[in-house]
């Protein structure tokens, strides 16, 4: 990419056809990263059986989560300096290398390491997709294009568990262990993304003098890793008051103070602190955190409910999430087109977070006998709320920051959403485990007093095994089975009762979002020219 690009070339508006060409490559790249967040979970059982790695299975997910989240803010800054296409394609290649190696893993340690490489690439795919959209499409027109990316999220939320279940249900496919295909399937899509971005992604970058904040990047990655280790590994595994949990939280706090001190004094910070003085940046960052927590924390419980209480397979549970996907896809597109038509965006996160809050509260009505049509309505409502909210706050953010900060601001928003999702999963998972640990003993004691015969054949070892393998329920008497299912349901209710107020906080924040006129094509091109002028100046 030439550094001697004229101002006119670098700020020339793209045609609709050129934009669609760019978006096709971005959507394939984003699908890779979004799919991999969900496809692995349903195949973990097969992986653990092959590698006899039950004690380390959580690291298959955690390693990916750590590297993808920690690297997200770095990609925005680096792409601001070196250009979008080479950095985005580096992320694709890194993800493909990690996928190929993960599929060929021979033991659990190799798989965990290669998943970390995958995550490193995924961080760039997630962060840079919306940065590049911000580069090529004016905010006023962005909604009608960006809505389709909400559709990618919706499709991945259903296709991931479906594909993971399909591959893991087959012992071998084409002579290869079925679970390995969850990684190999990425390769043709990744190559397609490389071809599409090479053909269409020609965003001119004006090279300028720069200095990468290596120390800030190291501190940021170390701090995020400490936080994620505390909330996703040590806390759920050893308890929140355990010494390892507390020490990693403490290390995060120390590194956060060091990072803030350093970033406030370096000339070219990896995350400029002045962005937090921007009202819209601060509000949308907090909203992204809450939407991430609400989306991944509460919704991840639905497949668990379907499998534990309804007895569905992983594949069937994935199919039953289709209304959730339809809600996200439809309202992402509708809200995007309405924003482009009328130029107003504040109303949509307010509507969306209201729908999410109500939908999550309605999930407390679930019971062991709830018909699927009722659950599907709740899913649809929550999905529609996400469709209204998730992409809209990115449009608001990109409209409010200077063009020179577009990359780092957008990737920071993705970063906060990822952190929110991680903490949400850990928080709601802990609530579920804690409440189930209360409801099950209560139910057993009640049966001992009212109907001792219902406990026939149920040993303490069976109840202990129940924590890791729900198949043991089939060995219980019908009365005990019903009691166990009711305990599951009550624990789910408590999760949703905790999740609803969290999302409601996001709704309150949405009212404080300032609505500024969305930049049209002329104003957008003027902002780009100003950024180019500053670079040449």
> Mapped to the 3 state alphabet, what secondary structure does 391-404 carry?
CHHHHHHHHHCCHH
Highest mean pLDDT among 141-155, 331-345, 360-374, 505-519: 360-374
Which of 46-55, 225-234, 241-250, 405-414 has the least mean pLDDT? 46-55
Angle of the 84-103 helix axis to the 58-82 helix axis, nearest 10: 160
User: Is residue 260's pLDDT more than 60?
Assistant: yes
The pLDDT of residue 4: 34
User: Is residue 224's pLDDT more than 70?
Assistant: yes
- How far is C-alpha 400 from the chain's CA centre? 24
More confident call, 170 vs 179: 179
Residue 177 is classified by DSSP as E
Cβ contact 356:389 at 8 Å = yes
- Residues 472-488, mean pLDDT to the nearest whole number: 83
- Residues 169-182, mean pLDDT to the nearest whole number: 73
What does the alpha-carbon distance between residue 190 and residue 316 come to, in Å, rounded to a whole number? 28
3-class SS string, 24-74:
HHHHHHHHHHHHHHHHCHHHHHHHHHHHCCHHHCHHHHHHHHHHHHHHHHH
The pLDDT of residue 297: 62
pLDDT in tens, 403-426: 777 778 888 888 888 888 878 877
pLDDT band at 506, cuts 50/70/90? very high
pLDDT band at 514, cuts 50/70/90? confident
For the chain, how are helix, strand and coil distributed in percent, rounded to 5?
80, 0, 20
Beta-sheet pairing, 176-177 with 172-173: antiparallel
| CA nearest to 232, candidates 34, 6, 391, 422 | 422
What are the phi and psi torsion angles at 208 (to 5°)? -140, 165
What does the alpha-carbon distance between residue 150 and residue 159 come to, in Å, rounded to a whole number? 14
Domain boundaries, the chain: 7-212+270-439+489-536, 213-269, 440-488
- How far is C-alpha 371 from the chain's CA centre? 29
Cβ contact 401:210 at 8 Å = no
The pLDDT of residue 336: 81
pLDDT in tens, 271-322: 888 888 889 999 999 999 988 887 766 667 787 788 788 877 767 777 788 8
User: Is residue 380's pLDDT more than 60?
Assistant: yes
The pLDDT of residue 525: 52
Place of tokens 């890194």: 94
pLDDT band at 378, cuts 50/70/90? very high
Residue 173 is encoded by which pair of tokens? 């496919």
∠ Cα 403 147 154 (to 5°): 125
The pLDDT of residue 333: 83
Residue 508 is encoded by which pair of tokens? 């309150």
Residue 99 is encoded by which pair of tokens? 């996928």
Top-level class of domain 7-212+270-439+489-536: mainly alpha
More confident call, 376 vs 313: 376
- Residues 346-353, mean pLDDT to the nearest whole number: 92
What does the alpha-carbon distance between residue 302 and residue 299 come to, in Å, rounded to a whole number? 6
User: Is residue 45's pLDDT more than 70?
Assistant: no
What are the phi and psi torsion angles at 32 (to 5°)? -55, -50
- Residues 222-237, mean pLDDT to the nearest whole number: 80
The pLDDT of residue 56: 58
3-class SS string, 62-114:
HHHHHHHHHHHHHHHHHHHHHCHHHHHHHHHHHHHHHHHHHHCCCCHHHHHHH
User: Is residue 184's pLDDT more than 70?
Assistant: yes
What percent of the chain lies above the pLDDT cut of 70?
82
Highest mean pLDDT among 57-66, 166-175, 355-364: 355-364
Measured distance between the N- and C-terminal CA atoms of the chain, rounded to whole angstroms: 20
User: Is residue 512's pLDDT more than 70?
Assistant: yes
User: Is residue 237's pLDDT more than 80?
Assistant: no
What does the alpha-carbon distance between residue 116 and residue 139 come to, in Å, rounded to a whole number? 34
User: Is residue 254's pLDDT more than 80?
Assistant: yes
- How far is C-alpha 64 from the chain's CA centre? 12
Highest mean pLDDT among 183-187, 376-380, 428-432: 376-380
Render the burial of 46-55: b for 16+ CB within 10 Å, e for the rest. bbbebbebee
């Amino acid at each position: 990419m030439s550094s001697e690009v004229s101002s006119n070339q670098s700020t020339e508006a793209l045609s609709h056809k050129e934009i669609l060409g760019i978006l096709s490559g971005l959507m394939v790249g984003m699908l890779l990263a979004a799919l991999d967040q969900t496809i692995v979970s349903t195949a973990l059982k097969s992986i653990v059986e092959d590698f006899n790695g039950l004690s380390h299975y959580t690291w298959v997910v955690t390693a990916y989560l750590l590297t993808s989240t920690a690297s997200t803010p770095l990609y925005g800054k680096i792409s601001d300096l070196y250009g979008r296409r080479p950095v985005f394609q580096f992320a694709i290649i890194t993800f493909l290398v990690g996928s190929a190696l993960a599929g060929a893993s021979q033991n659990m340690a190799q798989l965990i390491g290669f998943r970390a490489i995958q995550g490193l690439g995924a961080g760039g795919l997630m962060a840079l997709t919306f940065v590049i959209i911000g580069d090529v499409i004016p905010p006023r027109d962005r909604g009608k294009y960006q809505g389709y990316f909400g559709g990618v999220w919706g499709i991945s939320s259903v296709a991931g568990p479906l594909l993971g279940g399909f591959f893991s249900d087959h012992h071998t496919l084409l002579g290869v262990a079925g679970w390995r295909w969850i990684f190999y399937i990425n390769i043709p899509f990744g190559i397609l993304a490389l071809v599409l971005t090479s053909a269409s992604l020609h965003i001119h970058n004006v090279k300028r003098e720069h200095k990468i904040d290596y120390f800030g990047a190291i501190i940021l990655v170390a701090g995020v890793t400490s936080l994620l280790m505390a909330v996703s590994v040590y806390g759920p595994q050893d308890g929140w008051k355990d010494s390892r949990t507390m020490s990693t939280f403490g290390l995060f706090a120390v590194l956060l103070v060091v990072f803030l001190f350093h970033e406030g004094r370096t000339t070219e910070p990896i995350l400029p602190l002045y962005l937090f003085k921007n009202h819209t940046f601060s509000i949308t960052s907090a909203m992204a955190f809450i939407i991430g927590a609400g989306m991944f924390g509460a919704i991840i419980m639905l497949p668990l409910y379907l499998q534990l209480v309804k007895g569905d397979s992983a594949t069937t549970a994935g199919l039953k999430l289709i209304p959730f996907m339809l809600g996200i896809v439809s309202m992402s597109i509708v809200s995007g087109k309405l924003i482009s038509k009328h130029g107003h965006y504040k109303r949509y996160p307010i509507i969306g977070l209201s729908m999410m809050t109500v939908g999550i509260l309605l999930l407390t009505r679930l019971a062991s006998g709830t018909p699927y049509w009722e659950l599907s309505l709740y899913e649809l409502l929550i999905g529609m709320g996400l469709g209204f909210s998730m992409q809209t706050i990115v449009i608001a953010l990109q409209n409010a920051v200077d063009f020179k900060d577009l990359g780092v601001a957008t990737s920071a928003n993705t970063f906060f959403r990822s952190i929110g999702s991680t903490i949400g999963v850990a928080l709601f998972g802990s609530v579920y485990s804690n409440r189930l640990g209360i409801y099950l003993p209560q139910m057993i004691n009640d049966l001992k007093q009212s109907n001792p015969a219902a406990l026939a054949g149920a040993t303490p070892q069976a109840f202990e095994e129940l924590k890791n393998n729900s198949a043991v329920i089939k060995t219980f008497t019908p009365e005990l089975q019903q009691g166990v299912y009711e305990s599951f349901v009550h624990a789910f209710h408590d999760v949703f009762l905790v999740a609803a107020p969290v999302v409601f906080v996001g709704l309150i924040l949405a009212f404080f979002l300032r609505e500024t006129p969305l930049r049209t094509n002329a104003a957008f091109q003027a902002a780009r020219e100003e950024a180019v002028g500053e670079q040449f100046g």
